[in-house]
Structure 1
Amino acid sequence: MVDKTQVIIIGSGPAGLTAARYLGELDVQYVLISKESRPGENKVCGGFVPQAALERFELGSFPRSHEIYGARLRFPGYEPRDVWFEEAVGVNARREDLGTVLEKKADLSKGILRLGARVTSVECGQDGCSVKYMLNDNTHQVESDLVIDASGSHPVSCKKDGVRSYLSDTETGYGFQYQVRYGTDEWEFPRLNYFYFGSGYSPRGYAWIYPRATDAAVGTGGLLNILRERNTALPGHLDRLLNEETPDQDYTGYLTVVKREGALVPLAGIVTPSYGQRLLLAGDAAGHCSPISGEGIYYAMTAGNLAAETVKECYEDNDFTKQKLKSYEKRWQKAFGSDLKWGRRIQRRFMGTSSGESSSKFLESEDVLRKVAEMLLGLKSVRSAIIGCLPAYIKSRLAFWQ
């Protein structure tokens, strides 16, 4: 038996579930297929949800979310410095908790969730789409007018004659992460997200600590080609970071590693095309991820929203052509394309050496530090942060050559 629907969504991350939410609100029927039995349960992610996402998508509060009020930044040649804000800049959450919230936002009266299912083929032609998947050892097939592929950094629709080829090693990052749990009530991380740059913490990338109420995500990473060249043992970077940031310089008395995990991350900046014949890519599948920090929750949710709006217009105009779907790419580029473009330029400039070891003295400025924190926490666009830091950067370079 072949099921039929209007739209097939592949993936239950922020992009897929947000697309489902808005398709339901726009009265469009959908089937969402995901390999995860519980959305977000196996996603490797720091889990920072910026204030912009909380407000725009009306997420409210959810279990075990942990408000964050700033950033702790460390650059080569500098001690760690804290930047605090008066109000919360966002929350850190376990991805399964975020997934539960996003799933509840979806209108299931208009859609069906097929969780714990593995997509085996995606075919989109002039007259429609067909997706086959395995669920409980049985093969199923569903047909639709359109597909939204939000299946991750290696989108399933691109395995064979897809919209585009997979990203290269110079455009893809790898993040390795500990999930750690507090072992004592006597100490905890401050309500800051940690961003540590330098070869001692990451091979041309950065290391992070995202604290939560009872645990934390601690990770490091970099571009895949660099990691393969150096064959770096990433756990050593994390052990060093944790020892530095816990009392007695020994984290084992305060934290227990409960899980080790890793994943690929798109760090290519703007990736096109993000649409094809009756097909849209969203979230990591479309490269919607910050080339600087690897964060992408807000971008993914925005893309899911815009994909749903584009689909609705296709039905209103009875037009499912590539030319019509092209408007989706224009929308997301207008919404956050500047962040991806300028983020990629910063990545090449400051992470092209030993993770920013060549940083100049302009980072001494507290004003510059605050602008960098605002950028990393999603409070300001990448371009506005660059413009704000430019005078101090030029001044430092002129001083260097004098």
Structure 2
Amino acid sequence: MIEKTQVTVIGSGPAGLTAARYLGESDLQYVLISKESEPGASKVCGGFVPQPALKEFKIENFSGAHEIYGARLRFPGFPPRDIWFEDAVGVNAKRSDLGKALEEKLNPSNGIMKLGAAVTSVECNRDGCVVDYSFNGKTSQVESDLVIDASGSHPVSCKHDGIRSYLSDTETGYGFQYQASYRTDEWEFPRLNYFYFGSEYSPRGYAWIYPRAKTAAVGTGGLLNTVRERNTALPQHLDRLLNEETPNQDYSSYLHIVKREGALVPLAGVVTPSYGKRLLLAGDAAAHCSPISGEGIYFAMTAGKLAAETVEECCKKNDFTTQKLESYERRWQRAFGSDLKWGRRIQRRFMGTSSGESSSKFLESEDVLRKVAEMLLGLKSVRSAILGCLPSYIKSRLAFWQ
């Protein structure tokens, strides 16, 4: 069977669903194809959505959202320190709950959803695009003017002579995570997201705890090349973290590990090109993910919206040339390219040492920790956090040399 539409969207993550939302609002017809039967259900993710994303995309108070009010930070040589904010800084949620919230924003009259379908090939040329997929045991085809590929860190459109090659092991992270549920109502994690840095918790990355109402995502990771070189037993890092953060240093009495999971995460910074012949990449497919925290939901939603806006302009002018599609790349670089660029620099500087250890005095400052927390929680840009911390950092280095 051959279907015809204006735009084919591949993937039902935040980038794909947001692109579909704004395509529908522009009265553009689309077909969304996703291997997931339920958006987000199989995605390995901590599930933190920063407050700016909730407000911008009007998804506050969705079912399953658990408000977070700050961060617990631990750096080598320092005890854990809590940074609280007066208002919620965002929410933690299961990706399936976020998927439902984003799906509810879609206009069903403008699009067709093909959930549980596997894309087998993507071909785009000067005349149009053809996407082959398997659905309910049958092979089908969609013809469209444009494709938005938001299929994840290994985009399906890049399997055969795509826009770009796959990222290297030094540009890709590996995250290992527990999905845990509470065994008791007498204890729970505070409403803080945990960020633990140092070799006790991660191979040159960081470990995290993202609490939710009845569950928590607990993970660790680092750059793929380091994880492979060290052959580190990642579960041991998580067991240590959880024992430290639960009463009596025995998490088994308080938490039940429901699931163990792992996934690749693009941590390459700015990756170009993100467009080609009648094709745009968005979200993880375009490496739209923070090189510091691995958070990518806000970037993905922003990229999905910008991709839809670019497509709308192309359709109005009947101009699908790569020169026209280039404006998409300029848009997302203006929106969050600086965070990707500076995040990559910080990653190389502070996570590239043999142990990740640091005894710098500037981390003793409450003001510095608050700026770091704002950056990790997506409240401030990476560049503004760097500039805010710079005076304290310079002062600490001068004191060291004196």
Determine the structure 2 residue equivalent to 1:188.
188
Kindly state the Cα deviation for residue 318 of structure 1 after the two structures are TM-superposed.
1.1
1:199 aligns with 2:199: yes
- How many residues align? The count is 402
Determine the structure 1 residue equivalent to 2:100.
100
What CA distance in whole angstroms lies between the structure 2 residues aligned with 1:300 and 1:9?
Answer: 14
* 1:18-60 Cα shifts (integer Å, max 9, x gaps): 0000000001100000000000000000000100110000002
Paired residue secondary structure (1:36): coil
Q: Which runs of 5+ in 1 are unaligned?
A: none
Does the aligned pair in 2 maintain the 1:10–1:34 contact within 8 Å?
A: yes
What CA distance in whole angstroms lies between the structure 2 residues aligned with 1:197 and 1:361?
Answer: 16
What CA distance in whole angstroms lies between the structure 2 residues aligned with 1:215 and 1:72?
Answer: 18
Alignment of 1:225-244 (within 5 A): 225-244=225-244
Determine the structure 2 residue equivalent to 1:327.
327
Determine the structure 2 residue equivalent to 1:119.
119
What CA distance in whole angstroms lies between the structure 1 residues aligned with 2:60 and 2:77?
Answer: 40
Alignment of 1:258-297 (within 5 A): 258-297=258-297
1:254 aligns with 2:257: no
Determine the structure 2 residue equivalent to 1:361.
361
| Greater alpha carbon shift after TM alignment, 23-32 vs 60-69 | 60-69
Question: Identity rate of aligned residues, in percent?
Answer: 81
Does the aligned pair in 1 maintain the 2:131–2:141 contact within 8 Å?
A: yes
Q: Do the aligned partners of residues 11 and 248 (structure 1) sit closer, same or farther apart at CA in structure 2, a change above 3 Å counting?
A: same
Query: Which runs of structure 1 show a deviation greater than 2 angstroms over 4 or more consecutive aligned residues?
Result: none
Does the aligned pair in 1 maintain the 2:20–2:32 contact within 8 Å?
A: yes
Determine the structure 1 residue equivalent to 2:3.
3
Determine the structure 2 residue equivalent to 1:307.
307
1:40 aligns with 2:40: yes
Does the aligned pair in 2 maintain the 1:205–1:355 contact within 8 Å?
A: no
Paired residue secondary structure (2:177): strand
1:158 aligns with 2:158: yes
What CA distance in whole angstroms lies between the structure 2 residues aligned with 1:108 and 1:260?
Answer: 35
| Greater alpha carbon shift after TM alignment, 208-217 vs 60-69 | 60-69
What CA distance in whole angstroms lies between the structure 1 residues aligned with 2:352 and 2:362?
Answer: 18
Paired residue secondary structure (1:105): coil
Paired residue secondary structure (1:21): helix
What CA distance in whole angstroms lies between the structure 1 residues aligned with 2:355 and 2:267?
Answer: 15
* 1:235-285 Cα shifts (integer Å, max 9, x gaps): 000000000000000000000000000000000000000000000000000
Determine the structure 2 residue equivalent to 1:393.
393
Paired residue secondary structure (1:45): coil
Kindly state the Cα deviation for residue 355 of structure 1 after the two structures are TM-superposed.
5.1
What CA distance in whole angstroms lies between the structure 1 residues aligned with 2:213 and 2:292?
Answer: 26
What CA distance in whole angstroms lies between the structure 1 residues aligned with 2:47 and 2:354?
Answer: 27
Determine the structure 1 residue equivalent to 2:21.
21
Determine the structure 2 residue equivalent to 1:75.
75
Kindly state the Cα deviation for residue 137 of structure 1 after the two structures are TM-superposed.
1.5
One-letter amino acid of the counterpart of residue 9, structure 1: V
Q: What is the TM-score when the length of structure 2 is the normalising length?
A: 0.99
What CA distance in whole angstroms lies between the structure 1 residues aligned with 2:355 and 2:292?
Answer: 11
Does the aligned pair in 2 maintain the 1:146–1:278 contact within 8 Å?
A: yes
* 1:293-321 Cα shifts (integer Å, max 9, x gaps): 00000000000000000000001111100
One-letter amino acid of the counterpart of residue 377, structure 2: L
Alignment of 1:361-380 (within 5 A): 361-380=361-380
What CA distance in whole angstroms lies between the structure 2 residues aligned with 1:26 and 1:355?
Answer: 50
Does the aligned pair in 1 maintain the 2:74–2:81 contact within 8 Å?
A: yes
Does the aligned pair in 2 maintain the 1:350–1:359 contact within 8 Å?
A: no
What CA distance in whole angstroms lies between the structure 1 residues aligned with 2:372 and 2:149?
Answer: 33
Kindly state the Cα deviation for residue 358 of structure 1 after the two structures are TM-superposed.
3.2
Q: What is the TM-score when the length of structure 1 is the normalising length?
A: 0.99
Kindly state the Cα deviation for residue 400 of structure 1 after the two structures are TM-superposed.
1.5
What CA distance in whole angstroms lies between the structure 1 residues aligned with 2:167 and 2:194?
Answer: 28
Q: Which runs of 5+ in 2 are unaligned?
A: none
* 1:93-152 Cα shifts (integer Å, max 9, x gaps): 000000001011011110000000000000001100000001111111110000000000
What RMSD over aligned residues (CA atoms) do the two structures have, in Å?
A: 0.7
Alignment of 1:205-224 (within 5 A): 205-224=205-224
One-letter amino acid of the counterpart of residue 249, structure 2: Q
Paired residue secondary structure (2:104): helix
